[in-house]
Structures are given as structure tokens and as C-alpha cells.
Amino acid sequence: MKPKVLRMSADRPGRIAGVRVAVIDVGSNTVRLLAVEQRVRRRVPVQEHGVPVGLGAEVELRGRISRPKLDEAAFEVRRLVREARELGCMLIEVAVASPGRQAENGAELVRELARAGGVPVRLLEPEEEARLAYRGALASNRVTEGSVAVCDVGGGSTQIAFGEPGSEPVWVRSVDIGSLRLATRACSGDRPGKKALTETRRIVREAFTGLAAPLPMQALAIGGSARAVSKLVGDRLGPDELREAIRIARVQPRSEICEEFGVGRARVRTLAAGAVILEEAQRRLGVPLQVVRAGLRDGLVLALFEEGEALTQAAGDSAAG
């Protein structure tokens, strides 16, 4: 299958053509690899896949990550680093999102991953995560004019960033609730009933209290929750579409949703929770959310390519001197 082309506005054609970099994103739901090659005028993914690990559920239930889960995450990182090296990636970085921030033993998680992978491990601060996701989403999706917001519903937290195309975001916020944590807390049943959904919406409204986002002309939704919801109702998520997605999650068994809509078994468990968070974010932004694929990992890849360019430039300056 032909890989999807990443159309990144930050490209500087030919500067480091042929170089490959890789990011391993350790999130609340999944540990995922993205490896990308710089071509002459574009960047092209050469590998992208992940495995559910579910660190966020442990953080929600226990406040910390158990030894078996630490070992599982370390094993997957070691395996993906090895795969990235076999692909010929020059720079490899592990990025840890909300599990490293929210777990009591988040520092231990970072140490275990660094030991397992033998590559730099980056613990993302909430606003840093929002900025990288914004940058990746806009660089890979042509947004040419008008203010834009990027909403990233993750497993452990939700990031929203606002700005103008071609510049860094001017407003970023992180909300300390995500689809996996919310599902574990309030709607873990096969078909969440009205009482569970009422409690889910209450928790989300409380988490969003005080968040007064600037109103954008357009908004992008990124992340696994948004992609899962889009399989049910399409890529445009307005109030009607999100209500319908929540209705489907409420009335249809998870097995039927997996079969009918192609939602993965790990993702369907957080479907209703993710849709409720997207519903609240959309209400506050005031415009429909357009679901796009690129996001945090793409922003991290851009940063790695810039690091590669800097190294190339420094080597050239040293040789010339």
C-alpha cells in the first residue's frame, strides 16, 4: 500500500533528503511508532503502528504503574527502537505523555524506558504537548487562512491550542481528563446507560470549568478518540454528529460496533468517553471539529528533522573551518 504523503509546510526541500527519523509515543492507551523519511519535496511515512498497553487505566485505578505494566511498556519500547534502527532511522526519540505526568512513579517509567530503548526519552509537559500537536496538525493539513483551534483528546488528558496558520499557537490549555481515564472512572460497561452518561458529562463539565477558549474560525480534531468517532459519523463532528456517536455507543454492544464500524477492540472501550469529551470541546469552541490524522507525533517528527538539520549544518561548518 502506498504510504500517505505528509504535506508539511515547514519543509526545506533537499536539505537532508534521504534521512529517516522515528518517534515512539508512549501514551495512556497505546505505545506507537512513527518513522518518516525526508524526500526532496515532502516527508513520507515509512512505518506507523502501535500496540495497546493501557498505562492510563492503571494510573486511574491505582495512582501508579505496576511492575508488570512497566515491564510491558519497556518491552514494547525496546522492540520499536530496534525496528526503527532496522529501518535506518538516524534520530530516534521516545516521548512520554500523560502517564509520565500523572502516575506517582512517572519518573520510574521514564527511567525504565530510557534503559530499555537506549535513546533519549522526553517527558512532555502539558502545554508542550499541545503546541507540538498543533504544529503537527497544521503542518500536515493545509490550513491557509483564518484562526484555527486544534483539539487532541488523548487517553489521559485533553489539549487545545489556538492560533493562526503559519505561526505558533497563541493560546494553549491542557484539561486533566482523557478518554481512558474517563471510561475507567464512569462508563466502563458494555453499553453505558443514561445514569453513566450523565455522570460522564458531569465529570467532563467539571474538568473543563474555567476554560474559556478563543473562538476559532475552524477547528481540527486529532487523536485516536476523534478518529474512532469519525468511523461512526464521519469526519465532521458538529453537535448532531457527536450526539449520534454517543447514542450509538449507548445502544449498541461493543462487539457490534467493532464489526459494523471497524473500531478496534481496545478503542471501543473508550469510545463513549472520548465522544463526550469531544462534545464538550466542540461546544466551547463553537464550530464543528474536522477530524484529521496528523498531530502530536508529526510535531515531534518535525522537531527531530530540525535537530537533524542543525547537526548537518554544524558538521558542515566544522568541516569548512
Kindly list the structural domains of the chain, giving each domain's residue range(s) and its CATH number in brackets, ordered by start.
20-126 (3.30.420.40), 142-291 (3.30.420.150)
Query: Can you point out the beta strands (E) in the chain?
Result: 20-26, 30-38, 43-52, 91-96, 121-123, 148-153, 158-163, 171-175, 218-222, 236-237, 289-291
| 272-135-306 Cα angle (round to 5) | 135
Global confidence as pTM:
0.86
Contacts of 82 (CB under 8 A, 6+ apart): none
Below-50 pLDDT ranges, the chain: 1-14, 315
Residues 6+ apart with CB under 8 A from 86: none
* Other residues' Cβ atoms within 10 Å of the Cβ of residue 206: 9
Distance of CA 54 to the CA centre of its chain: 14
**Whole-number CA gyration radius for the chain:** 19
Q: What is the pLDDT of residue 50?
A: 92
- Structure-block grid coordinates of residue 67: 511492575
Confidence at residue 2, expressed as pLDDT on a 0 to 100 scale: 34
User: Who's near 64: CB < 8 A, 6+ residues apart?
Assistant: 58, 103, 104, 105
pLDDT in tens, 119-133: 999 999 999 999 999
Q: What is the pLDDT of residue 192?
A: 85
Give CA–CA dist 80/22, Å, rounded: 9
CA distance 130 to 135: 9
Query: Quick one: pLDDT at residue 17?
Result: 66
Give CA–CA dist 47/18, Å, rounded: 15
What integer pLDDT is reported at residue 10 of this predicted model?
40
What pLDDT score was predicted for residue 190?
A: 75
pLDDT by residue (tens digit) across 7-57? Answer: 333 444 445 568 899 999 999 989 999 999 988 778 889 999 999 998 988
Grid cell of 281 as nine digits:
470541546
pLDDT score recorded for residue 3: 33
SS3 97: coil
pLDDT at 73: 97
